[in-house]
Amino acid sequence: MKLPGFIPNKTNMGKTISEKILSEHSGKDVKADDFVIAKVDLCLLQDGTGPLAVKQLEHLGIKRVVNPQGIAVFLDHAAPSPRKELSNDHITLRNFARKTGCYLFEIGEGVCHQIMSELFTSPGNVLVGADSHTCTGGALGAFATGMGSTDVAVAMGLGKTWFRVPQTIKIAVSGKFEPGVYAKDFMLYLIGTLGAEGATYKALEFTGAAMVSLPMSERLVISNMAVEAGAKAGIFASDKVTKAYLKQHGREEKYREMKSDKDAKFEKVINIEVDKLAPMVSLPHTVDNAKPVDKIGKVKIHQVFIGSCTNGRIEDLKLVAGIWKGRKRDPDTRVIVTPASKDVYLMAAREGLLETFIEFGATVTTPGCGACVGVHGGILGDGENCISTSNRNFLGRMGNPKSFIYLASPATAAASAIRGEITDPREYL
């Protein structure tokens, strides 16, 4: 799909990244709070939301999608399928992909947001996905946001959707992360500060030395969790890190500069200093219930989950393997590791990480979302506590409303697996 040419800035006012991308895609010079019909470059469906989107396209009487090369369908939430109903949903999606010519990612290929980032999302894109963590794509300088099945069905069928152009909150982050403190800790802290609806309808834009210095693996964590503060998008300006990531995945030619103008109008600017930030944990049952790891007291852990679209990347797995090497899990704590994609899984195999995981006493599962979303592969028992590197700890999230989920970084989760209780990872660095 060809992008419309850049729209001259008639109002002569600086624009945020969201305003720039939505101006380009609507062919109009738009600013925050305008309603626009915008061209959509990329659509994402997964096996929990895809079947309903397919049904809605049928109700619409639409048989062809506008841009099959921009649509990716993922079998990741039930991979491999634990039930016949879900196997039948997979058939629906396979048939849809075959009929329309869009991309299908089979069981084992990985979590939708990881693969979108590796293979599809580029700076300046509009990406809509029938999954709330579609905002992950903001790490690559795209306008990426989650919607429902019907919205994505219409976006596939018409090649466009409507938006209210969001106001942008600039998150300006200075300082340097201490050892043992990661992007995940920063996001749990930020969501704790903003609140679970502190950024509803807004775009967050992450800037400042502490953000610019982050590798793509860490930027993806931050954009991924923007929705947990209610945000529509969580965006980074594109830069040499973006370029290197695209190159690594054979897509260097997709690089373009995407940044807010110097005189862009932000709704507000929040300044944060990360120098003194400690490892953070979000306590049950909301993500914004975040506390420093050394302030939560003794919490017994029955299950550790390392994985998800938030923290299942190779960098995360290396970090975890480094902590686990030569150690054993607590005998009363079970451990699940789910690489975010087939590529991550392969790298983990080639670098000997899988051996470390197995020797430590962990179970390594097929790349996918099953444990995080409570479908299969790690459902908790009554009264059990899980420390998870995923992004949500809502009541019932991991399949049992009588269980408790604590969110943390891979390092904190890994350290907790050794002790069988929530543990400060700095003791193991």
Partner 1 sequence: MILRGKAWKFGNDISTDLIAPGRYFHLRSDLNELAKHVLEDADPQFASKVDKGDLVVGGRNFGLGSSREHAPTIIKLSGVSCVLAKSFARIFFRNAINIGLPAIECDTDKISAGDELEVSLEKGAIRNVTKKTDLKFAPLPKAMTQILQDGGLVEHIKKHGDFKIE
> Using CB under 8 A as the criterion, which residues of the chain lie in contact with partner 1 when the complex forms?
35, 37, 48-49, 51-52, 56, 59-61, 77-78, 83, 85-86, 88-89, 92, 129-132, 134, 146-151, 153-154, 157-158, 160, 162, 164, 196-197, 200-201, 227, 230, 232, 286, 373-375, 379, 392, 394-401
How far apart are CB 344 and partner 1 at their closest, in Å? Answer: 23
Which residue, 9 or 92, is less far from partner 1 as judged by CB?
92
**In the bound complex, what is the minimum distance in angstroms from residue 31's beta carbon to partner 1?**
16
Q: Which is nearer to partner 1, 72 or 321 (CB)?
A: 72
Q: Does residue 408 contact residue 283 with C-beta atoms inside 8 Å?
A: no
CB closer to partner 1, 8 vs 61: 61
Q: Which is nearer to partner 1, 87 or 248 (CB)?
A: 87
- Residue 172 tokens, joined: 């300006």
Q: Encoding tokens for residue 47?
A: 């096996």
Q: What is each CA distance from 144 to 125, 387, 429, in whole angstroms?
A: 8, 28, 35
Q: Which is nearer to partner 1, 121 or 217 (CB)?
A: 121
Sign of CA pseudo-dihedral 274, 215, 182, 409? positive
Report how far Cα 12 is from the mean position of its chain's Cα atoms. Answer: 34
Residue in the block written with tokens 């963590």? 133
Identify each DSSP E strand in 115-262 by its residue range: 126-129, 143-146, 160-164, 168-174, 203-207, 233-236
Tell the smallest beta-carbon distance from residue 69 to partner 1 (Å): 22
Q: Which residue has the tokens 């390594």?
A: 364
Helices 149-158 and 50-60, packing angle to 10 deg: 50
Residue 250 CB, nearest distance to partner 1 (Å)? Answer: 29
Q: Is the CB of 77 or the CB of 254 nearer to partner 1?
A: 77
Minimum distance from residue 283 beta carbon to partner 1 (Å): 14
Cβ contacts of 421 within 8 Å, gap of 6 or more:
298, 299, 300, 301, 330
Q: Give just the sign of the alpha carbon dihedral 133, 139, 140, 144.
A: positive
Element (H, E) at 409: none
Considering beta carbons, is residue 67 or 200 the nearer one to partner 1?
Answer: 200
List of residues 6+ apart from 283 with CB closer than 8 A: 289, 290, 291, 296, 393, 406
- Considering beta carbons, is residue 216 or 375 the nearer one to partner 1? 375
User: Which CB, 320 or 375, lies closer to partner 1?
Assistant: 375
Contact assessment for residue 411 and residue 180, using Cβ atoms and an 8 Å cutoff? yes
Instruction: List, edge to edge, every strand of the sheet that includes 404-407.
Output: 290-292, 280-282, 404-407, 385-388, 303-306, 334-337, 362-364
d(CA 159, CA 428): 50
